[in-house]
Amino acid sequence: MTIDWSWIGDHTDDLTTLTVSHLQAALSAVLFGVLISLPLAVVAHRIRPLRGFLLGISNVLFTIPSIAIFVLLLPVSGLTRTTTVIGLTIYTLVVLLRNTVEGLDSVPAKTKEAAKAMGTRPLRTLLTVEFPLALPVIMAGVRIATVMSISLVSVATYIGDGGLGQLFTDGFQRNFPTPVIAGVVLTILLAVVADAALVAVQYVLTPWRRRRA
């Protein structure tokens, strides 16, 4: 299996476009996943009976095969990026929802109690005490969801999207390994860089965890 470097040289623009498109799909999915998970997690955290139900649903959704999800979405959103992002978003929920609920659970009761006793109202406590303290656990979920989404984008090649995934079908159809290898390497690079970026974001957002006494 040899790499045809001249093909890579001739296709840098395409590779760049595909990489950007790939990253956009993955990050959109994580962003929507977070936006959906945060309120659902608050509900699951506050209302115990709903907790198992909501986490159960996110588990069930995760087990639906990706092709099935895309097929089911076709009548709704067609062969578009929207379909890709909806599908990927559904998969992120399983980690994002669970981690956000666990993050909220991990906030010490004593600290919430203190906030209440100082006269902080529930919404403000949620935003300024509970979310910040849950952040490390939530961010752990965001990191997993991001890496998972980056690796899953390729599946959307079935519906004509798929970012770097298109390189796999291309290489497979022509029995030409170079695009496949380039696609794999770029996907891994994306995952590593995105994960490192999230670690940096968390570092910036949680100054109190930096200097452990």
Partner 1 sequence: MIQFDAVHKRFPNGTTAVHDLTLDMAEGGVTVLVGSSGCGKTTTLRMINRMVEPTSGTIRVGGQDVTRQDAAELRRSIGYVIQQAGLFPHRTVLDNIATVPLLLGHGRRKARARAAGLLETVGLSAEAGKRYPHQLSGGQQQRVGVARALAADPPVLLMDEPFGAVDPVVRTQLQDELLRLQKELSKTIVFVTHDIDEAVRLGDQIAIFRTGGHLVQCASPTELLARPADDFVAGFLGAERGLKLLSLKTLAAVPQGPAPEGGPWTLVLDAANKPLHWASDDAELPVRALKDDDSLLSALDESIASPTGLIARVDADGVLTGVSSRDDIHQHAGQAHTEARVAA
From the list 30-38, 138-146, 149-157, 200-208, the region that binds partner 1 by CB under 8 A is 200-208
CB closer to partner 1, 2 vs 212: 212
d(CA 153, CA 139): 21
Q: Which of 35, 76, 114, 188 binds partner 1 (CB under 8 A)?
A: 114
CB of 213 to partner 1, least distance (A): 4
CA distance 190 to 140: 18
Residue 156 contacts residue 84 (beta carbons within 8 Å)? yes
Rounded CA separation 200/192 (Å): 12
CA 91 to chain centroid: 8
Query: By C-alpha distance, which of 98, 99, 101 is closest to 45?
Result: 101
Question: At closest approach, how far in Å is the CB of 36 from partner 1?
Answer: 25
Q: What mask of x and - would describe binding to partner 1 in positions 33 to 72, judged by CB under 8 A?
A: ----------------------------------------
Residue 79 DSSP label: S
Among 80, 120, 151, 202, binds partner 1 (CB under 8 A): 120
Which positions lie near partner 1, rule CB under 8 A? Answer: 108, 110-111, 113-121, 124, 129, 132-133, 206-208, 211-213
